[in-house]
């Protein structure tokens, strides 16, 4: 654990706000561990889940997780979610 004080620039970057369309599923984060890539997803109703490839989520089936996007299948519709910019 660091005992260094947080700089003003670091604090500003850590609290940067990005407006999200909360009526649509959102990709909140991508994580990699020994099991591979995982995605943090938020559904339109506010449910947040950590998903692995091939998981079934409230937003659809996770088809693929890459380092930049997630593909979800909901019935016949395939959606590509990317991180907010």
Q: Is the pLDDT of residue 19 over 80?
A: no
Does the predicted model carry a pTM greater than 0.85?
A: no
Q: Check residue 3 and give its pLDDT.
A: 67
List, in order of start, the domains of the chain with CATH numbers. Answer: 19-82 (2.30.30.830)
In the predicted model, what is the mean pLDDT of the chain? 89
Q: pLDDT over 70 for what percent of the chain?
A: 92
Q: Facing residues of 62 across strands?
A: 72
User: Residue 22 above 90 pLDDT?
Assistant: no
- Let me know how long the chain is: 85
Residue 44 φ/ψ, nearest 5 degrees: -65, -25
- Indicate if the pLDDT at residue 43 is higher than 60: yes
């Amino acid at each position: 654990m660091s005992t260094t004080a947080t700089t003003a620039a670091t604090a500003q970057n850590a609290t940067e706000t990005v407006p999200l369309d909360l009526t649509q599923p959102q990709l909140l984060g991508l994580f990699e561990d020994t099991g591979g890539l995982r995605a943090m997803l938020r559904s339109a109703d506010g449910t947040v889940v950590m998903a692995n490839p091939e998981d079934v989520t409230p937003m659809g089936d996770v088809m693929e997780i890459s380092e930049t996007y997630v593909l979800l299948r909901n019935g016949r519709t395939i959606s590509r979610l990317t991180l907010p910019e």
